[in-house]
Amino acid sequence: MRVVIRSIADRGDPEKERIVMVARKAVNIGDYAILEAGYDAGSVNTYTRDSFWFPDKDVDEGDYVVLYTKIGNDKEKVLKSGKRSHFFYWHEEKSKWGSDKMAPVLLQVEQWSAFVPEDT
């Protein structure tokens, strides 16, 4: 994958908790989503509780993508190296990664389809 998870920083602290990722190649981060997936016996499982689909945004090779659990407004920062950090927010009030029973799973979702329900 062109984007990889590097760490979960400040696990359990809803004001600081974040998933830190890095782009190994230039990508549109809107082609990726994070699942809040179950974790047991050393592996993720098919239980999912929540998801975050990144909005469309071009990210260059070597840029950081940071997903905070807390409420906030998307932004970016240019680093001294010239690379950028792109900040996104899940808009939750509680920690997601404080337990060892849940793990983030990064998915590449370049193709998808949706069923649009009819108005009732």
For 68, residues 6+ apart whose C-beta sits below 8 A from its C-beta are 17, 18, 87, 88, 89, 90
pLDDT tens digits, one per residue of 50-89: 999 999 999 999 999 999 999 999 999 999 999 999 999 9
Model confidence at 120, pLDDT cuts 50, 70, 90, reads low
Beta-bridge mates of residue 8: 19
Give the model's pLDDT for residue 119. Answer: 76
The percent of residues above 70 in pLDDT, for the chain, comes to: 99
**Nearest residue to 100 via CA among 52, 40, 15:** 40
Could you state, in order of their start, the residue ranges of all structural domains in the chain?
3-108
- Given the structure tokens 């990144």, which residue do they identify? 54
**Residues 16-36, mean pLDDT to the nearest whole number:** 98
Record the pTM: 0.93
Match 């983030």 to its residue by tokens: 104
Q: What share of the chain is helix, strand, coil (3-state, %, to 5)?
A: 0, 50, 50
Q: 31 pLDDT band (50/70/90 cuts)?
A: very high
CATH number of 3-108: 2.60.40
